[in-house]
Chain A
Amino acid sequence: GQQVMQIPQYQHVQEGEDFTTYCNSSTTLSNIQWYKQRPGGHPVFLIQLVKSGEVKKQKRLTFQFGEAKKNSSLHITATQTTDVGTYFCAGGGSYIPTFGRGTSLIVHP
């Protein structure tokens, strides 16, 4: 079945440093979604990418969808303590999205 691998599992950064998490699929994805889960909270939708090579920005967050639609990345510029949490990608082509295991971001002030 479809597998979505996400790396790294954890990332420690100093506040102000950049952060990137990567998502790779064994199969071509029709779309990819990104979610953020704060400690003790529930996943919250950030964005959906659909087109090959698509790049979208939300303030300090940049999302990319690979040309082959098999990989994606989330980059945060100049992290802040409010960025702490676990970031999940979810790839799908149906009603059965496959979630990556997430990358937990720890920001040290």
Chain B
Amino acid sequence: EAQVTQNPRYLITVTGKKLTVTCSQNMNHEYMSWYRQDPGLGLRQIYYSMNVEVTDKGDVPEGYKVSRKEKRNFPLILESPSPNQTSLYFCASALSYNEQFFGPGTRLTVL
């Protein structure tokens, strides 16, 4: 089954404790991206990657890091999480300029 998976689905952590949210897709898509979704603000892009070893900032990259060492994986790293990064995070993948397939989401709470 074609899908985008994210782990963990839920995470409660404390300020400053480094964390990684994994994202993996099995559709051989070149394009992957991370979004955060906050009430009233819609989906805001954090980082995107057009292919292996190629990443670039989206609209709200501050406080986040990403890497794309393999085509299927695109982890999101929060080196020192802060409460303002409490949000719902979605990973997505796409083939060129076509539809994006979203993962199920990761709900992060930073205390």
Interface set of A (CB-CB < 8 Å, partner B): 1, 6, 9, 30-31, 33, 35, 41-45, 48, 88, 90, 92, 95-97, 99-102
Contact = CB atoms under 8 A, between A and B. Distances in A.
A35 B44 CA distance: 14
Interface of B: 31, 33, 35, 40-45, 48, 50, 58-59, 90, 92, 97-105
B68 to A, nearest CB: 13
Contact of B90 (A9, A43, A48): A43
A48 B103 contact: no
Given A9-B40, A31-B97, A92-B97, A44 B48 contact: no
B42 A45 contact: no
A89 to B, nearest CB: 10
Contact of B103 (A42, A88, A90): A42
Nearest to B6: A42
Contacts of A1: 59
Contacts of B105: 42
Contacts of B90: 42-43
